[in-house]
Amino acid sequence: MCAAQSNRRKLWANFLEKGKSAHSRGGIARAKVIESKVNVAPFRGKILGIDPSLRGTGLAVLNVKNRDEMDLIFSQTVKVPSKESLLTCTRRIFEAISEVVEHFQPTICAVEQTIYVQNFQTAQIMGIARGAVLTATAIHCLPAFEYAPLRIKQAICGYGRASKEQISKMIQAILKIPMNVSFDETDAAAVALCCFFTEHSLAEIVSRNHGNSSFDKT
């Protein structure tokens, strides 16, 4: 065997050995990540769920004691008559959220994302409501997350096309709340539950963002 072939074989052997070592380190790193996710500190606190709407914003405060014990301690629909101006709507939304935050001191906030619409005027109106909501959370330095309607439905019902009636029934069953709670309020509670079910490191996130206004789009 010539010297050139021998050198090539040695180089190839060294390359394979390094690859095995890197793969082993990668496996250890993945194991540590999995272990860290399993051993994350449990979240205990209040989650403010918000379903933005210009004339019917839903609010819900979920009190989480542990993984299997949570209660809906407050819910409200911010109703604004159609005769009122857009400025009045934004003020009412802002004031309602501010009152809830000051009274219940939620730890984190979960907001339903604006759905895609083709009508420009409708999109503009929905954007105004969303802006009022996010402004209120930002001013109160409340860490906030947004969730798409599809993701919320999947988290609560296991089906991305679930109706409002199905979501309402599931929320009533999970949280054991009365049947007369409005769809706006059960939608808000669903957003809060989605946040709790899907964000496995809420305690760490809250600790990291304590005292800071943050907005993470998910």
Residues annotated as catalytic are: 51, 112, 184
Pairing between β-strand 215-217 and β-strand 56-66 as defined by DSSP bridges: unpaired
CA distance 96 to 168: 22
- In sequence order, the 6+-apart residues with CB closer than 8 A to the CB of 57 are 50, 51, 77, 78, 93, 96, 129, 133, 184
Other C-beta atoms closer than 10 Å to the C-beta of 130 total 21
Query: Distance between CA 100 and CA 95 in Å, rounded?
Result: 9
List helix spans (H) across 58-119: 86-104
Strand partners, 217: 146
> Which strand (E) or helix (H) includes residue 115?
none
DSSP label of 41 = P
